[in-house]
């Protein structure tokens, strides 16, 4: 594509250079530049992409988009906000793929991954080819790609959508993190349905206050197109039991469709019955009432299923198809995943890494626990410090024995993270074992028949980040090995 044609998508009249080279690719990383690329300089949290402009030019960049003039011998196009420009350019360069996809975006503190997988299951039951973007990775039809972020940067995102179109994907579901909304990673996305799960404490390191965090999430709904005159109707699917919903309703032009348990909603669950093997409830929808049975446990999962049902109903999926898919749901990797190595106690690996999710996970376990409840939990480094004492207090209060350990300490000292956790505990029984493998082994050694061990925080993760090193680590495998070793030791 010619540079001038590409730049025509930036509607704020950037000064066009005289030269009009062919642009072969867009890059935001100077190390990936190939001959004929357009390099977009992003001022990041760690380094400033503008400092790599010369390297990009030396590597063959045909032109550079920047927020300030640069001393390089290739054309430089100055824009006010290069992150936003990157999103718009990438969308245009890849042929505006989201305009040809039915795109569902999900935001909220907890439940995004779970709800996105449930929607994907329902869509596949409907027989369409799907794409899925989120914490566990990027799925394009049957191909799974690795992803660094829950919501990739604008470039990776539009590349994924382009690939989806190449592979005949018609429906895509994605998690939209508050970081992505605030940083403009999703500016080029044309959502059809925007879903809100819930808002509780997380990421205060980044957003500063709950109000700012709430506003960042609200961008998903305020940026949704007007459904009134639109050929493709736009829907905001909102949780009517969450206090933030009233603000999101006020801020969106889209048609509002609600789900909930306590407050009157379009889609509701009534008469919920839970067992350790699953959940039953009466589903109320504008298309009728029906008793539903599913394998997922916990009230929070009823919310996730309701959100998925609501999103699929407004996407035109017949209720019978939705119900058929729910009957088959198997759950999501690392979300309340059982580890079974033939032991006579229960081991659950769960991705609860916020106060609310930990409270929910332990509360759900408490409903079925016959024996002692252990909770192995840590808190991530370089993340919201204020959730550490809260999570430790919840674990100490709700489990019979909490074992505090490391999550991903990243650049922080694990012992300081653990001190900040234990500072929140005023009652309850706990141990501190900073080595995560040793902590899991300790819980396994202590557990007796009918006890339950919750290993919280890392779910599906197959690594542990300590300092700058990424080590292989999978809670599910570590637990399984510990169980097998302890059972042979006992023989």
Ligand X SMILES: Nc1ncnc2c1ncn2[C@@H]1O[C@H](COP(=O)(O)OP(=O)(O)OP(=O)(O)O)[C@@H](O)[C@H]1O
Ligand Y SMILES: CC(=O)N[C@H]1[C@@H](OP(=O)(O)OP(=O)(O)OC[C@H]2O[C@@H](n3ccc(=O)[nH]c3=O)[C@H](O)[C@@H]2O)O[C@H](CO)[C@@H](O)[C@@H]1O[C@H](C)C(=O)N[C@@H](C)C(=O)N[C@H](CCC(=O)O)C(=O)O
Ligand Z SMILES: N[C@H](CCC[C@H](N)C(=O)O)C(=O)O
Closest residue by Cα to residue 283 from 322, 330, 243: 322
Of 75-83, 118-126, 248-256, 456-464, which part binds ligand Z (CB under 6 A)?
456-464
What is the Cα Rg of the chain in Å?
Answer: 24
At residue 398, φ and ψ (nearest 5 deg) are -95, -20
Q: Does 398 bind Mg ion (CB under 5 A)?
A: no
List Cβ<8 Å contacts ≥24 apart for 181-185: 181/107, 181/216, 181/217, 181/219, 181/220, 182/206, 182/207, 182/216, 182/219, 183/83, 184/81, 184/83, 184/84, 184/87, 184/154, 185/83, 185/87, 185/151, 185/152, 185/153, 185/154, 185/157
Largest separation between any pair of C-alpha atoms in the chain? 80
User: Is 131 annotated for ligand binding?
Assistant: no
**150 is annotated as contributing to ligand binding:** yes
Q: According to the annotation, is 405 in a ligand binding site?
A: no
- Is 350 one of the binding residues for ligand Z (CB under 6 A)? no
Q: Interface with ligand Z includes 458 (CB under 6 A)? A: yes
Among 83, 151, 197, 285, binds ligand X (CB under 6 A): 197
Q: Looking only at residues 448 through 487 of this chain, which bind ligand Y when binding is defined by CB under 6 A?
A: none
Distance, in Å, from the CA atom of 218 to the CA atom of 200, rounded to the nearest integer, reads: 14
Contact partners, residue 160, CB within 8 Å, separation at least 6? 131, 133, 138, 140, 145, 152
Interaction pattern, residues 412-451, with ligand Z; x per rule: CB under 6 A: ----------------------------------------
Least distance to ligand Y, CB of residue 176, Å? 8
Write down the least CB distance from residue 49 to ligand X, Å.
26
Distances from the Cα of 421 to the Cα of 208, 396, 454, angstroms: 20, 11, 17
Closest approach of Cβ 75 to ligand Y, in Å?
Answer: 18
DSSP state for residue 384 in the 8-state scheme: -
Region at 36 (left for phi over 0; alpha for psi -120 to 50; beta for the rest): left
Contact with ligand Y (CB under 6 A): which of 20, 100, 129, 149? Answer: 149
346 or 408: whose CB is closer to ligand Z? 408
Tell me: does residue 113 bind Mg ion (CB under 5 A): yes
346 touches ligand X by CB under 6 A = no
Whichever of 102 and 460 has its CB closer to ligand Z, that residue is 460
Task: Work out whether strand 463-466 and strand 469-472 pair parallel, antiparallel, or are unpaired.
Answer: antiparallel
CB of 145 to ligand Y, least distance (A): 15
Q: Distance of alpha carbon 98 from its chain centroid, rounded?
A: 19
x/- string (CB under 6 A) for ligand X, residues 286-325? --------------x--xx---------------------
Please give the angle made by the CA atoms of 88, 94 and 96, to the nearest 5 degrees.
65
- The reply to whether 380 sits near ligand Z by the rule CB under 6 A is yes
The nearer residue to ligand Y, 323 or 417, going by C-beta atoms, is 417
User: Least CB distance from residue 180 to ligand Z, whole Å?
Assistant: 11
- 353 scored as a contact of ligand Z (CB under 6 A): yes
350 assigned binding-site residue:
no
Position 45 contacts ligand Y (CB under 6 A)? yes
Which stretch, 340-348, 418-426, 457-465, 472-480, contacts ligand Z (CB under 6 A)?
457-465
Please tell me whether residue 135 binds Mg ion under the rule CB under 5 A: yes
Tell me the site size for ligand Z, rule CB under 6 A. Answer: 9
Beta bridge partners of 403: 376, 431
Choose between 70 and 261: whose C-beta lies nearer to ligand Y.
70
462 Cβ contact list (under 8 Å, min separation 6): 472, 473, 474
The size of the interface with ligand Y (CB under 6 A), counted in residues, is 19
Bridging pattern class, strands 193-196 and 469-472: unpaired
Binders of ligand Z among residues 217 to 276 (CB under 6 A) are none
59 is in an annotated binding site: no
Q: Quick one: which of 191, 194, 185 has its CA closest to 107? A: 194
Q: Which is nearer to Mg ion, 150 or 245 (CB)?
A: 150
Which residues participate in the annotated binding site for ATP? 108-114
Residues that bind Mg ion in the complex, under the rule CB under 5 A: 112-113, 135, 150, 175
Chain residues binding ligand Z by CB under 6 A are 150, 353, 380, 383, 407-408, 457-458, 461
**What are the residues binding ligand X (CB under 6 A)?**
108, 110-114, 135, 150, 175, 197-198, 300, 303-304, 335, 350-352, 356-357, 360-361, 459
């Amino acid at each position: 594509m010619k540079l001038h044609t590409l730049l025509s998508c930036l509607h704020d009249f950037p000064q066009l250079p005289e030269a009009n080279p062919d642009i072969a690719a867009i890059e935001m990383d100077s190390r990936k530049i190939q001959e004929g690329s357009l390099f977009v300089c992003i001022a990041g949290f760690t380094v400033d992409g503008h400092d790599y402009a010369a390297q990009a030019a030396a590597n063959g960049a045909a032109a550079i988009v920047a927020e300030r003039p640069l001393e390089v011998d290739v054309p430089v196009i100055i824009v006010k906000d290069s992150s936003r420009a990157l999103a718009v350019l990438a969308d245009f360069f890849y042929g505006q793929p989201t305009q040809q996809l039915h795109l569902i975006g999900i935001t909220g503190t907890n439940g995004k991954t779970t709800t996105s997988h449930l929607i994907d299951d329902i869509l596949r039951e409907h027989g369409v080819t799907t794409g899925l973007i989120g914490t566990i990775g990027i799925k394009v039809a049957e191909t799974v790609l690795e992803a660094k972020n829950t919501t990739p940067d604008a470039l990776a995102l539009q590349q994924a959508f382009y690939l989806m179109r190449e592979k005949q994907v018609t429906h895509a579901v994605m998690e939209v993190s508050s970081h992505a909304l605030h940083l403009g990673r999703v500016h080029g996305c044309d959502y059809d349905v925007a879903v809100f799960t819930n808002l509780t404490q997380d990421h205060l390191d980044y957003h500063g206050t709950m109000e700012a965090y709430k506003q960042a999430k609200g961008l998903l709904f305020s940026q949704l197109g007007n459904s009134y005159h639109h050929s493709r109707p736009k829907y905001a699917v909102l949780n009517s039991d969450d206090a933030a919903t009233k603000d999101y309703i006020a801020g969106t032009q889209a048609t509002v469709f609600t789900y909930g348990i306590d407050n009157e909603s379009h889609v509701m669950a009534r008469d919920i019955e839970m067992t350790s093997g699953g959940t039953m409830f009466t589903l109320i929808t504008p298309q009728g009432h029906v008793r539903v049975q599913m394998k997922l446990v916990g009230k929070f999962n009823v919310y996730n299923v309701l959100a998925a049902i609501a999103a699929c109903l407004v996407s035109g999926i017949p209720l019978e198809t939705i119900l058929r898919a729910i009957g088959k749901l198997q759950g999501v990797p690392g979300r309340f995943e059982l580890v079974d190595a033939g032991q006579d106690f229960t081991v659950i690996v769960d991705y609860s890494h916020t106060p609310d999710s930990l409270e929910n996970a332990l509360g759900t376990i408490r409903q079925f626990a016959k024996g002692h409840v252990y909770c192995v939990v840590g808190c991530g480094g370089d993340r919201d410090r204020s959730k550490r004492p809260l999570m430790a207090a919840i674990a100490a209060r709700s489990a019979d024995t909490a074992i505090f350990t490391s999550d991903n300490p990243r650049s922080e000292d694990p012992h300081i993270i653990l001190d900040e956790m234990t500072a929140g505990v005023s009652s309850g029984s706990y141990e501190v074992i900073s080595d995560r493998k040793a902590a899991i082994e300790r819980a396994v050694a202590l557990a007796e028949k009918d006890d339950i061990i919750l290993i919280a925080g890392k779910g599906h993760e197959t690594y542990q980040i300590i300092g700058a090193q990424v080590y292989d680590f999978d809670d599910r495998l570590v637990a399984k090995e510990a169980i097998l070793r302890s059972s042979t030791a006992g023989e």
